[in-house]
Amino acid sequence: MGHLTSKSYFSLQKRLNDAVQGGPNTEIFHKILDLLFSEEEAKVVTILPLNMFKIEDVQKKIGKTKTECKKILNGLADKGILFDFKFEDTQAYFLAPTMAGFFEFTLMRTDNNRDHKIFSELLSNYLHKDKKYLKEVFISNPGIARVYPNEEVFLNNKSVVLDYERAEKIIKSASVITLGRCFCRHKMQHQGKLCKYPQETCMTLNQAAESAIRHNLAKKITKEKALEILKRCRDIGLVQIGDNVEEEVNWLCNCCSCCCEALNAYKKLGNKSHLSSNFVALNNRNVCLGCKICLEKCPVGAIKMRKISGKDCAFVNKNKCIGCGVCVHFCPSKSLSLERIKDIQIVPKDTFERIILTALNKGKLQNYLFENDEVITHRVLNRFLGFILSLEPSKRLIAQRQLRSRFLNMIAKTHLYSNYDKVLHKKGEKIDYNHSEIDLMKKK
């Protein structure tokens, strides 16, 4: 543990707040940083890039040999503060955000190296006391997470469900899967609010899972085991919430309405959190039994009972429904169904697109494009772009979808993209950020 008065922790807070998930400056946050980081670790993380980087990119800044740098970076990865990615002869690192990132990994671990009770209380206060951090994390466009609808409810439904919307498909196509303790339920346990649902339900996938295995953050499981857990969680009414990307999904959780921070944020913030799937529940009043099971099962309170022609019927508030399919799964009369919404939300193609678009919409893009503050040109461009992005969204034409896709394709040709491309994409694969699937879905 360090010292709260140290400049290292103030610099660390500022650096973490530069990232898209942020870390607003409060006394509680400094206590969290003091608990999780040594002073030396704080100094190192403060100078790390927000983008994916290799050891050679930071060796001069850290002022150590390559071997010493690797030991430091791997030590940070052991704590879940960094992800490390390997592909052929390329090893790259990525600074984990606060959430979904090193906050979760702190409580997913089963060792006793951290005081989980103190951390749980601090984090709950940081999220809910003044709501600055809650809003910073969850009011994002695109969001950091999305609901994966229960594809089992589409068996007798004509709705088209895309592969990246199917949790089962995500699991079956993953290169590696790990299982870890649910961060949200574990946190609530330390506050004396343990719920009835199991804790071993959170999955990490693909390259993020490989990093978790290397650093003993989670245990490897088979795809068959993962599908078994998914089925069991659906049958007890848990909601599938995961990484808001189409390709190389990093995580998939099975969430309860009593503990899940994403669901609780949605109940407080509404659609501003962009958590919903591209579906909504509809009820056939002629078939509805008025049994109220759906009302009890809905994780966000989107269903109420209304008396229509003297009969109690379930009414779904489309503005609150997150399109998870839990109500449909439990409906005994099959009066409920999931239908695709008209105003389809774009799901970022990969982590690179999600970060860049979120940074663009939050006015933080300059923090990723021009990270070398020692270079006068970068410093000037950083401030100039910061000014442009501080304009009202209506004045940022680049936010229009057509221009946005061109912008992403342009950025993908720069140095900013090179490490993502080597590590996360198949060799020679060209990623198209135009999202033509949205136009196809609108025609159906």
DSSP letters spanning 125-183: HHHHSS-HHHHHHHS-SS-SEEE---GGGGTT------GGG-HHHHHHH-S-EEEEE-H
Asked which of 220-234, 262-276, 361-375 is least confident by mean pLDDT, the reply is 361-375
Helix 116-128, helix 27-36: angle, nearest 10: 150
Residue bearing tokens 């678009």: 357
Confidence of residue 396 (pLDDT cuts 50, 70, 90): very low
Q: Is the residue at 72 inside a domain? A: no
What is the pLDDT at residue 403? 47
Q: Is the residue at 1 inside a domain? A: no
Closest by CA position to 94, among listed 142, 129, 58, 49: 49
Confidence of residue 381 (pLDDT cuts 50, 70, 90): very low
Closest by CA position to 126, among listed 181, 185, 77, 187: 187
Q: Residue 384 pLDDT more than 80? A: no
* 238 Rama sector, left if φ>0, alpha if ψ -120 to 50, beta otherwise: beta
**Mean pLDDT of the 306-332 span:** 94
Domain's final residue, options 297, 324, 342: 342
Which CATH number do you get for residue 334?
3.30.70.20
Q: Residue 14 pLDDT more than 70? A: yes
Q: Is the residue at 7 inside a domain? A: no
Number of domains in the chain: 3
Asked which of 83-92, 119-128, 176-185, 233-242 is least confident by mean pLDDT, the reply is 83-92
Tell me the two tokens of residue 228.
């078994």
Give the CA radius of gyration of the chain: 22
Phi and psi, residue 247, nearest 5°: -120, 150
What is the pLDDT at residue 416? 55
Q: Is the residue at 38 inside a domain? A: no
What is the pLDDT at residue 2? 47
pTM metric for this prediction:
0.87
Confidence of residue 370 (pLDDT cuts 50, 70, 90): low
What is the pLDDT at residue 5? 52
Asked which of 105-114, 309-318, 383-392 is least confident by mean pLDDT, the reply is 383-392
Domain's final residue, options 342, 365, 381: 342
Q: CA-CA distance, 39 to 266, in Å (whole number)? A: 35
**Mean pLDDT of the 145-162 span:** 85
**223 and 315 share one domain:** no
**405 and 387 share one domain:** yes
**265 and 292 share one domain:** no
Asked which of 55-59, 295-299, 361-365 is least confident by mean pLDDT, the reply is 361-365
Q: Residue 266 pLDDT more than 90? A: yes
What is the pLDDT at residue 409? 61
**105 and 253 share one domain:** yes
Q: Is the residue at 229 inside a domain? A: yes
Q: Where are the beta strands (DSSP E) in 171-276?
A: 177-181, 200-205, 219-221, 239-243, 251-255
Q: Is the residue at 156 inside a domain? A: yes
Q: Is the residue at 427 inside a domain? A: yes
Q: Is the residue at 324 inside a domain? A: yes
**291 and 407 share one domain:** no
**371 and 257 share one domain:** no
**428 and 304 share one domain:** no
**Mean pLDDT of the 402-413 span:** 56
The upper half-sphere exposure of residue 407, i.e. CA atoms within 13 Å in the direction of its Cβ, equals 16
Q: Residue 149 pLDDT more than 50? A: yes
Domain's final residue, options 321, 342, 363: 342
Q: Could you tell me if 202 and 253 are in contact, meaning their C-beta atoms sit under 8 angstroms apart?
A: yes
What is the pLDDT at residue 399? 46
- Provide the domain limits for residue 301: 279-342
What is the pLDDT at residue 439? 65
What is the pLDDT at residue 387? 46
**126 and 214 share one domain:** yes
Give the tens place of pLDDT for each residue, 204-250. 999 999 999 999 889 999 999 999 999 999 999 999 999 999 999 99
Confidence of residue 423 (pLDDT cuts 50, 70, 90): low
Q: Residue 400 pLDDT more than 50? A: no
What is the pLDDT at residue 126? 94
Confidence of residue 147 (pLDDT cuts 50, 70, 90): very high
**266 and 293 share one domain:** no
**160 and 235 share one domain:** yes
What is the pLDDT at residue 140? 85
Average pLDDT of the chain, as a whole number: 85
What is the pLDDT at residue 210? 93
What does each C-alpha distance from 159 to 163, 319, 340 come to in angstroms?
13, 20, 7
E strand or H helix that includes residue 225: helix 223-235
**431 and 371 share one domain:** yes
What is the pLDDT at residue 371? 60
Of residues 328 and 381, more confidently modeled: 328
Confidence of residue 360 (pLDDT cuts 50, 70, 90): confident
Of residues 389 and 106, more confidently modeled: 106
**254 and 127 share one domain:** yes
What is the pLDDT at residue 376? 43
